[in-house]
Amino acid sequence: QTIHLADYTPPAYWVEDVHLTFRLAPTATRVLSRIRFVPNSDAPGRFFLHGEGLTLISAKINGAPVSPAFVEDGLTCAVPDGPFTWEAEVEINPQANTALEGLYRSGGMYCTQCEAEGFRKITYYPDRPDVMAPFTVRVEGSDPVLLSNGNPVAQGDGWAEWHDPWRKPAYLFALVAGDLVAHRDSFTTRSGKDVDLAIWVRKGDLHKCAFGMDALKRSMDWDERVYGREYDLDVFNIVAVDDFNAGAMENKGLNVFNASAVLASPDTATDANFERIESIIAHEYFHNWTGNRITCRDWFQLCLKEGLTVFRDQQFSADERSAPVKRIDDVLALRARQFREDNGPLAHPVRPESFVEINNFYTATVYEKGAELIGMLKRLVGDENYARALDLYFDRHDGEACTIEDWIAVFEETTGRDLSQFKTWYSQAGTPRLDMTDSFADGTYTLTFRQHTPATPGQPDKAPMVIPIAVGLLSPNGSECVPTTLLEMTKAEQSFTFEGLEEKPVPSILRGFSAPVIVTRKSDNAERAFLLAHDTDPFNRWEAGRALAKDALVRMVKEGAAPDAAFIDALGQVLADDTLDPAFRALVLHLPGQDDLAQTLFDAGVTPDPIAIYAACDSMADAIATTLESQLASLFDAMQVPGTYSPDAEAAGKRALANAALSLLSRRDNGARAQVQFDGADNMTQQLAGLGALIKQGKGDEALQAFYEQWHDDRLVLDKWFGLQCSLAKPDEAANVAMTLTAHPDFEWKNPNRFRSVLGALASNAAGFHHPSGAGYTVMADWLIKLDPVNPQTTARMITVFETWRRYDADRQALIAAELDRIANTPDLSRDTAEMVSRIRGA
Ligand code: ARG
Ligand code: ZN
């Protein structure tokens, strides 16, 4: 059953307030509700409550027993005219809830995940985001810690009461109960309100909370300074849970986190883990305003909260760390996940117009492309107008459930600009291709751009978009003759001129990646090398190096060319430039990903062979290691960080560069340096980099054994142990490694992190997953079929590993099609997976 944006109708009843009582028991929890309903005189209609998998014990209206009728996904009932009170008691079984949606058990505790439509698995309720209400919750249970949203009201032996005064939709409801301990701190808002902060964990994890707490306080401070947003309750609680489908959830006053997204200590978490934790803590905290105080009218508007909140967390990380490095990382992720999605059968607009299962639309397009749209809007209107528009948004819509139209309107009113063409970015799927030609005559330089967006499922014809193109011009001597200028392209083809130039400049286009497009212009390697050496825009400097690397690798795959000496030379010059941030140099040193190369080849009309791509990357790495060996060796030494480990950006950048060098050098020293580093490491970043380099050299067996013995009691570290073996296995061994690991006694496949640590890592190993034997596809499909009845959300997410199947040769396509059919024909397939497999399979 497909839901359409165009069919939206307001609710027939509003909720004035909600009282819930939970009598917790693992297999038979009772949920008592008392809800005050008020008819919506603007949209009279049937009284309907969502409910799924609930056992109704009793129901009353205004105190008198009623017998509701069960319909579709809920119930309906005859109700009096005017306001009334609904009371119900239901029974649910948290212990049996393996889907991890609604109220469930994880590691002996109770926890909830209600976004998007999980609250209906807890009690009967209008489970839609435009119905907002204050909640009062009483939790009764034998656990020492009993938490819910809002402020604590009272507690006694075996019970606790919470009140959340801020009206909220049911998807922001949360409850946690368990034998937990708290890492506590406090924060005073700028208007002087004291807030008690706590991160709740199981006893053994208390030493892993300090960094997350620090990130939370920095986030609170940042949102006050940059967006003028203060926190609004007496307490802010975060809970770490082991079993969680997503990264984390912004429930009002009670954020619930996947343990991997909050817990970190130097010996168990890598620099990359610390950085990710910082950004997720910020993200969930920032939702308090962009998501909670102002929420979404319906789930088609998901990008209203997610795109904006991702944009805000990206701004935060850019401020806390290196802005250019953060931008490059974000674009790498956007290209790897969102461009991939946009180029395949799952392409959809940032604001989709229909869905079968909303959980399938928590995508890179809604989140990451959604964030890019905010960035473009800010670029187009300027920083001051952006700030004024946001103030107006918070002022006008506080306490409301809004739409993209509301969002666009505050920008139109603030600036007087007509943004109707800009809105196309929200409705049109696909990544625009941007071509450019240039000419020079009599001191005038002309840039001519052409845009074109390829067809996507259901959208054969595309309209031209507004594309903000940041451009700078460099003189042939290397100095900048025109600083960054924003061009606004609105037509299919458009020219821009620059006058008074002495000679033909070198263009630096799409600086800072000013729009989420693919530049198709063919520039030559001399120009790329020039920009890599001279561009003042750090993003485009990196981009030039990336273009050189891609060109060299594509020629190796397509023509059997040798590794390009000029590219390696240019790389050497960047590495030698000590004025450049080590983190930036590490990014330049990382070769383009193999999946990215496959898409590049496909776009160039070549059917990609993942094995040939793997071989080209391997021999390029050999050539770099051989040519630059002595330089890499001194860099490796120079970038060692002495003293106590700290996850700060500067130290992490040095380690990133040292470890990129280590990975290459291991090809020359047979893993000698890696072994030393592994043996002597006092932090996980160094230990894991040593282990990875050893595995790649085929010398990892002993280290893997030692690592297992050291860490088998730490679930998050054990995930790394599983993951590394799959992601670094040789192409012809990867499927076997994955199969063997799924038979390991520690492979707790019902835990999403553990499941992903093997199957997700297998898919990330492009040559191994796409090995011509098809064994990778089969092991993947076997496990998706096994997981689907247990956890539809994680299955439906994982099946996107097949979304690129149309890129490949007929043999691989036939193998994948057979696996997709096998999944599709599985009896009782979940709605989640059924929708995904049919979209991936296509017409
Ligand atoms: N709102 C959460 C966040 O972005 C993610 C919730 C994921 N839910 C889902 N059904 N996939 O922080
Ligand atoms: Zn979010």
Tokens of 6: 């165009």
Cβ 227 under 6 angstroms from ligand 1: no
* Nearest residue (CA) to ligand 1, atom 8: 115
Among all bound ligands, the one having the nearest atom to the CA of 247 is 1
Residue 250 Cβ < 6 Å to ligand 1: yes
Ligand 1 mean position to 308 CA, how many Å? 14
For residue 246, the CA-to-ligand 1 centroid distance in Å is 6
- Kindly give the distance from the C-alpha atom of residue 388 to the centroid of ligand 1, in angstroms, as a whole number: 28
User: Is the distance from the beta carbon of residue 256 to the nearest atom of ligand 1 less than 6 Å?
Assistant: no
Q: What is the pTM of this model?
A: 0.99
The pair of three-digit structure tokens given for residue 3, joined into one six-digit string: 């839901």
Chain segment 55-87, per-residue pLDDT in tens: 999 999 999 999 999 998 999 999 999 999 999
- pLDDT at res. 72: 87
Does the beta carbon of 249 sit less than 6 angstroms from any atom of ligand 1? yes
**Rounded to whole angstroms, how far apart are CA atoms 306 and 296?**
10
Kindly give the residue spans of alpha helices, DSSP state H, lying in 436-537. Answer: 525-534
Distance CA 245, CA 793 (A): 7
Amino acid at 765: N
Q: For residues 608 and 611, what is the distance between their CA atoms, to the nearest angstrom?
A: 9
pLDDT at 843: 61
* First-residue to last-residue Cα distance in the chain: 18
Contacts of 609 (CB under 8 A, 6+ apart): 557, 809
CA-to-CA distance for 170 and 112, rounded, in angstroms? 12
Which ligand places an atom closest to the C-alpha of 248? 1
Q: Which residues of the chain have pLDDT under 50?
A: none
Helix (H) or strand (E) holding 388: helix 383-397
List, in order, residues 6 or more apart from 117 with CB less than 8 Å away: 50, 127, 171, 358, 359
The response to whether residue 248 sits with its C-beta less than 6 Å from ligand 1 reads yes
**Residues with a known catalytic role:** 284
Residue 116 Cβ inside 6 Å of ligand 1? The answer reads yes
The rounded Å distance from CA 427 to ligand 1 centre is 21
State how far the Cα of 292 lies from the Cα of 289, in Å rounded to an integer. 6
pLDDT digits 0-9 by tens, 466-484: 999 999 999 999 999 999 9
Q: Is 774 left (phi over 0), alpha (psi -120 to 50) or beta?
A: left
| Residue 245 token pair | 């489908």
Region of 723 please: left (phi>0), alpha (psi -120 to 50) or beta. alpha
Query: Are 254 and 237 contacting, i.e. CB atoms less than 8 angstroms apart?
Result: yes
DSSP 348: -
Residue nearest to atom 3 of ligand 1 (CA): 249
Decide whether any atom of ligand 1 lies within 6 Å of the 115 Cβ. yes
Which atom number of ligand 1 is nearest to the Cα of residue 287?
Answer: 12
In short, whether 258's Cβ falls inside 6 Å of ligand 1 is: no
Ligand 1, closest atom to CA 797?
A: 11
Q: How far apart are CA 763 and CA 726, in angstroms?
A: 9
| Ligand 1 binding pocket mutation candidate from 281, 361, 362, 756 (most atoms within 8 A of CB) | 362
Residue whose CA lies nearest to ligand 1 atom number 5: 249
CA of 491 to the centre of ligand 2 (A): 33
Q: Under a CB-based contact definition with an 8 Å cutoff, are residues 128 and 99 in contact?
A: no
Cα of 362 vs centre of ligand 2, distance in Å, is 9
Beta strand 401-402 with 295-296: parallel, antiparallel or unpaired?
A: parallel
Residue pair 220/241 in contact (Cβ under 8 Å)? The answer is no
Name the token pair of 394.
């918070």
Q: CB of 599 within 8 A of CB of 804? A: yes
Separation between Cα atoms, residue 375 and residue 308, nearest integer Å: 9
